[in-house]
Structure 1
Amino acid sequence: MADTTSPTSSPRLWARIDRVWLAAALIVAIVAIVDFPRTDDVVMFAAKALLGTLPFIAFAVFAIAYLKATGAENLLARAFEGNPARMIIMAALLGGLSPFCSCEVIPFIAALLAVGAPLGAVMAFWLASPLMDPAMFAITTGAITLDFAIAKTFAAVALGLFGGFGTLLLSRTPIFTDPLREKPAVGGCCGVKAPFSATPVWTFWKVPERVQIFRHAGLDNGIFLLKWLTLAYTIEALMVFYMPADFIANVLGGGGLGTILLGSLVGMPAYLNGYAAAPLIGDLLDQGMAPGAAMSFMIAGGVSSIPAALAVWALVKPRVFGAYLSFALAGSVLAGIAWQVIS
């Protein structure tokens, strides 16, 4: 009898498996194999932590869905009007508060670069955008503290200003001369032909198409947050049960500059995801991590995370990308020092 099994069935099945859910399941499975009595403890810890964060997840999902459904992202284009200094300030402010995905932001930034928008304003938005949004603020508040979430928001805007004005001051140097890999096309994915060009519709429930957007955005972001926080709390459970608190206190404790710098250097390559990082940092703070190191880790890691970094790498030359990372590293250290002093 002929073999009717398709050779592509296994790859297709593997492609449909979500890697985040799979990672969380594998962690629990490994604990069950290595230390079976601890399995219930790990699962219950993650479940209780997730339930405690549900109100913040619900708020975050509603906020994102509302902003998507109304088309509030169209207001973003106004940040890039006027003189360069005003553009940088507005781009940093909106970048630090906007909830928009790279699928929308990348074509928008490409369009701005194509028509000659100042790189300083674009840099300000690039640096601030991955660090904070309504969902991130809610999750950070629930997983760490409200004070930390507010401080991170200020740090995101400050980093945007730092990088934006730094780029403006150095705009005539070889680093920023002819910065683009090639002139980007106007348009992009998701059917975006003229990004952020429409007028927001605040009473979106009167328009059936926008109600659909609200539902899809809420569902997509709800699943996204749940899976990443499930993974984060599962990893946090491992840290609670298996990582000695003295180790964290010795390595990342104290308020010295070296500890804050180490937080930045570790955060840049080790960062998983902004939503997953918040619970982990909350646990590390409980185990003795210095507040300044926690802040520097979150800022440096957010800017250098793969989605954020790839958006920059795809559009500008390596020297400009290097400047982007340099601004992130220096700014994260300064943010860590400031938070260490304040806290």
Structure 2
Amino acid sequence: MWTFFQEHVLGMKWLNELVGEGLTRLGVDVTSRWGGSLQFFLYDVIKISILLCFIIFLISYIQSYFPPERSRRILGRFKGLTAHIISALLGTVTPFCSCSSIPLFMGFTSAGLPIGVTFSFLISSPMVDLGSLVLLMSIFGSKIAVAYVLLGLVIAVLGGLVIEQLGMERHLEDFVKQAHVPLAESETMSNQDRLHFAKEQMSETFRKVFPYVLVGVGIGALIHNWIPESLVTQLLGSQNPFGVILATLIGIPMYADIFGSIPVAEALLSKGAQLGTVLSFMMAVTTLSLPSLIMLKRAIKPPLLALFVAICIVGIILVGYLFNFLQQTMIF
């Protein structure tokens, strides 16, 4: 039953066959490079769009119970390790990319929450949202998806703890420390209001995310049908012990969310790249994009920014090598 759900509900294998049959009837040879690329592109765009709308609607509905004011109050009740864990978990039901997470991070920090706790949120939010869990399950399976999310939460919690222990509050910009945003009560919403909010969020977020989906699927289609398997294996396969580091460094300058990076990772994996290597690429793209770092630099000083980047890079690389090791021992 679970295999059927994973392959035909989440993975939508029937859709791939339907697209292939439709193209064939239109005279397209799906066994050719161009035909195969077109089938890959149409199938992935339709599949991801369907899952994306459903996921955004569901998460937005859940998010309606956790507006910024309520999230601040929840985080303010906890101390120590528990606060970091709750902060990282709250990050899974908030915006889908790092740029949209930064204003919330600044608001939490201005409200007087410990800096380490807010960084646990900042790391977790773009890296391990609930949408990534569902999409990863649709492509890589439940074991990989759950392990990815759990390890992403570990990076977020440990990263926040390190920043807290080093006492990095002094490296916040003055305007953030002096803002003192009050912890206002959240507005009570009816169920109809929540459904309307979820619908609006779905529409708005999909419009923002869809261009990155098109680019990501397009790149994935090119890799899937045009890039020689030997080249991908040589650079990102087991033959290159530095493949994880290379994939992480390549991912940092790119800007996309989890939905745009998954098709690229799927194509790389099918061409012989190691599992941990492609997951490190995904984490780097979603967590350390240059636009988000530029925005973050406005709120924190260079030493804290450098520490944040270093923690994320080290954590992402370690996760990549761990997944590669588990893949070789046939756990996945």
Q: 2:48 aligns with which of 50, 53, 60?
A: 53
Which residue matches 1:179?
A: 171
Task: Say whether the 8 Å CA contact 1:76–1:196 is kept in structure 2.
Answer: no
For 1:81 and 1:243, locate their aligned partners in 2 and report how far apart those are by CA, in whole Å.
Answer: 52
* Cα shift at 1:260: 2.0
Which residue matches 1:321?
A: 305
Which residue matches 2:4?
A: none
Give the number of the structure whose alpha-carbon radius of gyration is greater.
1
Task: Say whether the 8 Å CA contact 1:232–1:279 is kept in structure 2.
Answer: yes
Unaligned 5+ runs, structure 1: 1-36, 188-192
For 1:93 and 1:196, locate their aligned partners in 2 and report how far apart those are by CA, in whole Å.
Answer: 22
| Counterpart amino acid of residue 179 in structure 1 | H
For 2:117 and 2:323, locate their aligned partners in 1 and report how far apart those are by CA, in whole Å.
Answer: 26
For 1:295 and 1:196, locate their aligned partners in 2 and report how far apart those are by CA, in whole Å.
Answer: 39
* Cα shift at 1:200: 5.8
Task: Say whether the 8 Å CA contact 1:43–1:234 is kept in structure 2.
Answer: no
Which residue matches 1:91?
A: 87
* Cα shift at 1:225: 4.0
Matches within 5 A, 1:1-343: 41-71=36-66, 74-77=69-72, 78-99=74-95, 105-171=101-167, 176=168, 178-184=170-176, 186=179, 197-198=185-186, 201=189, 203-205=190-192, 207=193, 210-254=194-238, 257-343=241-327
* Cα shift at 1:268: 1.6
* Cα shift at 1:136: 2.5
- The size of the alignment, in residue pairs, is 294
SS in 2 for 1:183: helix
Deviations 1:112-146 (A, max 9, x none): 32343221112211111110212232233334433
For 1:196 and 1:285, locate their aligned partners in 2 and report how far apart those are by CA, in whole Å.
Answer: 47
| Distance change (3 Å), C-alpha of 1:257 and 1:84 | farther
* Cα shift at 1:307: 4.9
Deviations 1:16-59 (A, max 9, x none): xxxxxxxxxxxxxxxxxxxxx96555333311222333442232
SS in 1 for 2:252: helix
* Cα shift at 1:161: 1.4
For 1:258 and 1:160, locate their aligned partners in 2 and report how far apart those are by CA, in whole Å.
Answer: 24
| Counterpart amino acid of residue 289 in structure 2 | S
Task: Say whether the 8 Å CA contact 1:74–1:199 is kept in structure 2.
Answer: no
Deviations 1:181-204 (A, max 9, x none): 2232649xxxxx867740564x52
For 1:177 and 1:69, locate their aligned partners in 2 and report how far apart those are by CA, in whole Å.
Answer: 30
Instruction: Give identity over the alignment, percent.
Output: 20
| Counterpart amino acid of residue 314 in structure 1 | R
Say what the alpha-carbon RMSD is for the aligned residues. Answer: 2.9
- TM-score after normalising by structure 1: 0.75
SS in 1 for 2:127: coil
* Cα shift at 1:215: 2.5
For 1:288 and 1:271, locate their aligned partners in 2 and report how far apart those are by CA, in whole Å.
Answer: 24
| Counterpart amino acid of residue 253 in structure 2 | P
| Distance change (3 Å), C-alpha of 1:138 and 1:107 | same
Task: Say whether the 8 Å CA contact 1:144–1:278 is kept in structure 2.
Answer: no
Which residue matches 1:3?
A: none
| Counterpart amino acid of residue 56 in structure 1 | L
For 1:229 and 1:102, locate their aligned partners in 2 and report how far apart those are by CA, in whole Å.
Answer: 16
| Distance change (3 Å), C-alpha of 1:105 and 1:271 | closer
| Distance change (3 Å), C-alpha of 1:246 and 1:257 | closer
| Counterpart amino acid of residue 191 in structure 2 | F
* Cα shift at 1:72: 5.2
Task: Say whether the 8 Å CA contact 2:57–2:199 is kept in structure 1.
Answer: no
For 2:241 and 2:185, locate their aligned partners in 1 and report how far apart those are by CA, in whole Å.
Answer: 45
